[in-house]
Structures are given as C-alpha cells and as structure tokens.
C-alpha cells in the first residue's frame, strides 16, 4: 500500500489537481492497459502517441510511464483527444479517440469558465462542487460511450538514442551533437544559432 | 412584437429573496441535485438547489438551496482523525489521534470538550484511553503498543451525546474481523478495505446495533470549501448508503437521531 499507488492517485499526484481532462486520460490509459494487457513501462517497451497536449497526457505519463523524458511519448499537435498506445514486446497497438460530445453538458461549460480565471470564494465552492459531479460522470460513463477504438499496425519509433554532447562555441554550454550546427565560428547550439542569425554552416 | 420569455432567478432565503441571475433563458436540472442557469447574456452558474416556485407571467423563478442548513439548526459534532498524512501508522510508530469539535470538518474556535472519554476496541476487548488537552486541541495517544486494525471511539456526554468513531490501521492488511461497536448510534463501514477516490464507499447506520432506515447522513471531506456539508445521503431499509469518493484526504460521515450524534471518519491515504 505504501509503495503502490493506484493509477488514479498516481495521475492526480503527478498532475497536481483533479480535473475532467486528467480523468479522461485516466480512462484512456486504463482502457489501453486492459485492452492490450499492458503494465507500466520501465524501459520504453510501451509507446504513447498523443494528439494533444492537454491534461489527459499527464495521466498517460503517470499511469503508463510513457514520458516526455524517456522519449516514449510522442506528441502530434493535432488538438484531438486521441491516444495511440502500443507495446514493442507484443507488437500490438490501439488507437483510442474520445467520442465527439461524449461528455457534453452544462457542467462542462461552466467548469471550463471557472477553470481559466481567478475565482472568488463562492465560485471556488461552485468549482469544487462541479469537480465532484464531473468526476463521477467521467469515471462512471461506460467506456464504449466515452471512446471509440481500433487496433492498429504501428511503426514503432526508434528507441531514444544517447549521443555525444559537444560544447557550444558561443555560450559554452553543452549541446547534443545531433542538435548542434558546425559553423565558421565553431559549433553552435540552436539558441546561439538563432541569435547569430544566418551564421554560415560549414 | 417581441415576446419576452426570460426570467429573473431568485434564491429563497426565508423572508428575503436574493437575485441570483437576471434574464435567464435556460434552466436545466443536472445531476446530484444541481441546477444549471444560463442567461441571455451568456452568464452561467451551477447551484445545488431545487425549484421552489415559477411565476412565468411575472418572469420570476424562485429556487431553494438544498444544502445549506441554517446555522442556528446546526449542532456541533466531534470527530477523530489520525495524526498522520499517510493514512495509517507503521508498527512501532507512535499512534496519535486528534479529536475535534465543530461542524463540516471545520473545528470551532472554542474546543471546549466536556465529559469526554475515549475507548479503543481491538480483538473483542475494549479499554479506555486518556484524552489529553494540548495547545492545538485534544489528542489521544495510543503510543507504541498499538498494532493491527483498531476501532477507536470518543464520547462527549451532554445535552446531546456525541460519538466519534475511526478505524486506525497500524501496520498493513488488517482487514478482517471488524464488528460494529454497538454504540447507541453508529456509522459502520459495510466492507472495510482501503477506500479510493473514484470508487463507491458504503456505510451502514446502526441504532442500538440495528439498521436505521431513512436516516440522513451528511458527508464531507477535509478540503471542502463548502460552508455546509456538500453531500447528504439517505439510508435504505438496511440502513445503508453509499457515496462516490471524489475528493482527496479523509471523509467524515455524520448522522443525528434525537439527542444523539455520531460521526465516522473515513481515513484515506490520498
């Protein structure tokens, strides 16, 4: 009990607060685990391709351990609540999409308003009440009413590589070789490249 | 000619009515006794209320708040909670409980407990433990002797007899052999296990050991910003009621019957 937090609580601790977006991600992660027989990633056996950068992605990171840092979280900036999750070991993957308007209703509208600004005491109490209502809704809705999904063939991206670190001639900081540019002035990191303008490459 | 069909919405407050929103054109009942209001100006609000009266000719809708219990009708209750953020104690750790008096898990400024005693029940045996007054309130120390799943209750005798119960877990996995304490009024967890957010939790209200049907059980949680209990449940024929846990931290269940009040603190790790 002390060590093994349940998935929902891992997600909440990681994200810092409870909100409907996070809970949708919890449902997606737990569904993927069940559907594909997945556990928690240790060393890039799992991969997540997410088509948004909203709260749901924190649940994917916390529950499946597909993380930005490990490189097994691939972000595609499509603005869609779609998550493709797969296992290198089994070669299986599933694409999960939230059904359009599956969680519509006045509570969501009002929560959206209250989530984006500083609240007075009365509004904070209203938001707390809404979180309770929405929490139960999101966690209780049948998965087939919340998502559509299909098994997909996934070209698994290569595992993260460890490359040589070079020193930037301009700022003196280290930079991955693959992100550095050789110029007439020496090796530049992307930031110094940008500052230098059109420093000619060699 | 334009037909005006929006209404002003008021909240009934005894002799007074307070304007909640002007020119409302959508009123939708939601879940958990909520009502959604939307005005023609796009203003939105969700309230826990019921419609008391609609005067459509005069474009007036009057709501009545469900939750708010008039302060004069509230009586203070006592509750226990383990002095740990971890939800349970480890073997050998000092086991200390805090005892509060107040309402809705909000301690009263004056913690003036009188005729108070505390009992620990374990393995079918009960023994009284001292209630100590400290700078921050009242506390019960079980010291290092404690082990297993302990049932602790406190009683403050007075005009109203107030009981507070809590399950204290020392070590792990002591989930068996739990029986009601047999208090005059008691809230007892139906199936003791680690309570989690995102799950339902069921309790049973017992009066003199027998299920109490139709009792109102107030439920709150440690982090609430609500002035009054955010949830009210009604027990079924078997005295049972359940709630979906949506908040972090401990929950408090409270029930009153005649001159008895009884609370049960549900301790959660997170």
Positive or negative, the CA dihedral A69, A75, A79, A82 is negative
Average pLDDT on B65-73 reads 67
Tokens read off for B57: 């000719």
Give the DSSP letter of residue A4.
-
Quick check: A171 and A191 in contact, CB under 8 A? Answer: yes
Q: Is the pLDDT of residue B1 over 70?
A: no
Tokens read off for A94: 């599933």
Residue in B149, B181, B142, B177 with CA at minimum distance from that of residue B165: B181
Q: Which residues pair with A93 in a beta bridge?
A: A86, A152
Tokens read off for B29: 């009942």
Instruction: Give the integer Cα–Cα distance in Å for B166 and A48.
Output: 43
Instruction: Give the integer Cα–Cα distance in Å for A117 and A133.
Output: 20
Residue in B229, B148, B217, B208 with CA at minimum distance from that of residue B189: B217
Q: Which of B36, B48, B86 sits opposite A106 (nearest CB)?
A: B36
pLDDT at B159: 85
CB pair distance less than 8 Å for A135 and B244: yes
Residues of A in contact with B46 (CB under 8 A): 106-107, 110, 126, 129-130, 133
Q: Which of B38, B173, B246 sits opposite A132 (nearest CB)?
A: B246
Give the DSSP letter of residue B191.
S
Helix, strand, coil percentages (3-state) for chain A, rounded to 5, are: 40, 20, 40
CB pair distance less than 8 Å for A106 and B47: no
CB pair distance less than 8 Å for A132 and B225: no
Question: Which one of B27, B34, B84 would you mutate to disrupt binding with A, by most A Cβ within 10 Å of its Cβ?
Answer: B34
Task: Give residue-wise pLDDT tens across range A116-170.
Answer: 888 988 889 889 989 988 998 899 999 999 999 999 999 888 887 889 999 999 9
Q: Which of B30, B46, B270 sits opposite A126 (nearest CB)?
A: B46
Tokens read off for B1: 């000619």
Catalogue all structural domains in chain B, each as residue range(s) with its CATH number: 7-65 (no CATH), 71-266 (2.60.40.1930)
Residues of A in contact with B43 (CB under 8 A): none
Question: Which one of B27, B44, B90 would you mutate to disrupt binding with A, by most A Cβ within 10 Å of its Cβ?
Answer: B44
pLDDT band at A1 (very low <50, low <70, confident <90, very high): very low
Average pLDDT on B150-170 reads 92
Sequence-distant (6+) residues with CB within 8 A of B253 are: B187, B203, B217, B218, B219, B263, B264, B265, B266
Q: Identify the residue with better confidence: B16 or B247.
A: B247
CB pair distance less than 8 Å for A107 and B226: no
**What share of chain B in percent tops pLDDT 90?**
43
Residues of B in contact with A18 (CB under 8 A): 197, 246, 248
- DSSP structure string for A33-56: HHHHT----SSSSEEEEES--STH
Instruction: Give the integer Cα–Cα distance in Å for B250 and A3.
Output: 19
CB pair distance less than 8 Å for A128 and B248: no
Number of A:B CB contacts under 8 A? 83
Q: Which residues pair with A74 in a beta bridge?
A: A49
Average pLDDT on B82-88 reads 81
pLDDT at B53: 86
Q: Which residues of B64-102 are buried (b: 16+ CB within 10 A; e: fewer)?
A: eebbebeeeeeebbbbbbbebeebbbeeeeebbbbbbbb
Categorise residue A197: left if φ over 0, alpha if ψ from -120 to 50, beta otherwise: left
Residue in A140, A16, A65, A46 with CA at minimum distance from that of residue B270: A16
Q: Is the pLDDT of residue B4 over 70?
A: no
Residues of A in contact with B85 (CB under 8 A): none
Quick check: A22 and A10 in contact, CB under 8 A? Answer: no
Task: Give residue-wise pLDDT tens across range A26-84.
Answer: 999 999 999 999 888 888 899 999 999 999 999 999 999 999 999 999 999 999 999 99
Residue in A17, A10, A146, A18 with CA at minimum distance from that of residue A67: A10
CB pair distance less than 8 Å for B46 and A130: yes
Catalogue all structural domains in chain A, each as residue range(s) with its CATH number: 7-103+141-152 (3.30.1330.20), 165-196 (no CATH)
pLDDT band at B187 (very low <50, low <70, confident <90, very high): very high
Tokens read off for A142: 């049948």
Instruction: Give the integer Cα–Cα distance in Å for B73 and B214.
Output: 20
Interface of chain A toward chain B, CB-CB under 8 angstroms: 1-2, 5-6, 8-9, 12-13, 18, 26, 105-107, 109-110, 113, 121, 124-126, 128-133, 135-137, 139-140
Which H, E and C letters describe B72-122, residue by residue?
Answer: HHCCCEEEEEECCCCCCECCCCCEEEEEEEEECCEECCCCCCCCEEEEEEE
User: Distance from A39 to chain B by nearest Cα, in Å?
Assistant: 20
Residue in B269, B264, B235 with CA at minimum distance from that of residue B80: B264
User: Distance from A169 to chain B by nearest Cα, in Å?
Assistant: 49
A148-157, B40-49, B61-70: which has the minimum mean pLDDT? B61-70
Q: Angle B235-B237-B241 (CA atoms, 0-180°, nearest 5)?
A: 25
H-type helices in A99-168, by residue range?
106-114, 121-140, 143-146
pLDDT band at B3 (very low <50, low <70, confident <90, very high): low
CB pair distance less than 8 Å for A107 and B34: yes
Task: Give residue-wise pLDDT tens across range B103-139.
Answer: 999 998 887 888 999 999 887 788 899 999 887 789 9
CA distances from A141 to A27, A30, A147, A165, B228 (A): 10, 14, 10, 49, 29
Residues of B in contact with A24 (CB under 8 A): none
Residues of A in contact with B193 (CB under 8 A): none
CA distances from B223 to A64, B23, B73, B195, B247 (A): 28, 34, 23, 17, 8
User: Distance from B117 to chain A by nearest Cα, in Å?
Assistant: 32
Positive or negative, the CA dihedral B265, A11, A125, B246 is negative
Compare all CA atoms of chain B with the CA of A109 and give the residue at the minimum distance.
B44
H-type helices in chain A, by residue range?
7-15, 20-36, 56-64, 106-114, 121-140, 143-146, 190-196
Quick check: B137 and B107 in contact, CB under 8 A? Answer: yes
């Amino acid at each position: 009990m002390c060590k093994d937090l349940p998935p929902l609580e891992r997600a909440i601790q990681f994200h810092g607060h409870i909100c409907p977006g996070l809970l949708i991600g919890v449902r997606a992660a737990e569904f993927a685990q069940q559907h594909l027989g997945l556990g928690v990633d240790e060393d890039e056996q799992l991969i997540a391709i997410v088509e948004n950068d909203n709260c749901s992605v924190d649940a994917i990171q916390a529950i499946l351990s597909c993380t930005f840092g490990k490189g097994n979280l691939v972000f595609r900036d499509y603005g869609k609540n779609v998550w493709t999750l797969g296992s290198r070991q089994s070669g299986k993957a599933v694409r999960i999409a939230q059904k359009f308007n599956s969680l519509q209703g006045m509570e969501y509208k009002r929560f959206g308003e209250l989530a984006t600004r500083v609240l007075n005491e009365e509004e904070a109490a209203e938001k707390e009440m809404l979180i309770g209502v929405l929490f139960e809704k999101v966690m209780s809705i049948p998965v087939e009413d919340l998502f559509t999904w299909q098994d997909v063939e996934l070209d698994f991206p290569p595992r993260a590589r460890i490359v040589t670190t070079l020193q930037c001639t301009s700022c003196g900081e280290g930079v991955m070789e693959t992100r550095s540019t050789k110029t007439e002035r020496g090796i530049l990191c992307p930031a110094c490249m940008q500052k230098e303008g059109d420093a000619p490459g060699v | 000619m334009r037909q005006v069909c929006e209404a002003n919405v008021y909240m009934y407050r005894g002799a007074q009515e307070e304007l909640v929103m002007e020119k409302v054109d959508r009123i939708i009942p939601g879940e958990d006794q909520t009502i959604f209001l939307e005005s023609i100006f796009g203003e939105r609000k969700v309230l826990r209320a019921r419609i008391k009266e609609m005067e459509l000719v005069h474009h007036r809708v009057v709501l009545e708040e469900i939750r708010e219990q008039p302060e004069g009708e509230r009586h203070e209750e006592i509750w226990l909670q383990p002095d740990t953020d971890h939800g349970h104690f480890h073997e050998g750790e000092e086991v200390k409980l805090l005892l509060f008096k107040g309402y809705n898990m909000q301690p009263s400024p004056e913690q003036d407990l009188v005729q108070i005693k505390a009992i620990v029940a374990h393995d079918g045996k009960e023994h009284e433990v001292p209630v100590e007054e400290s700078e921050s309130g009242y506390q019960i120390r079980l010291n290092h002797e404690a082990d297993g799943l302990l049932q602790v209750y406190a009683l403050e005798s007075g005009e109203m007899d107030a009981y507070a119960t809590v399950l204290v877990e020392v070590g792990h996995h002591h989930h068996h052999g739990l029986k009601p304490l047999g208090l005059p009024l008691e809230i007892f967890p139906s199936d003791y296990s680690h309570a989690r957010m995102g799950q339902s939790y069921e309790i049973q209200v017992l009066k003199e050991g027998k299920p109490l049907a139709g009792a109102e059980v107030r439920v709150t949680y440690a982090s609430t910003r609500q002035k009054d209990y955010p949830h009210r449940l009604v027990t079924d024929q078997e005295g049972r009621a359940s709630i979906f846990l949506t908040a972090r931290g401990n929950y408090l269940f409270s029930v009153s019957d005649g001159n008895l009040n009884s609370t049960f603190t549900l301790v959660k790790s997170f």
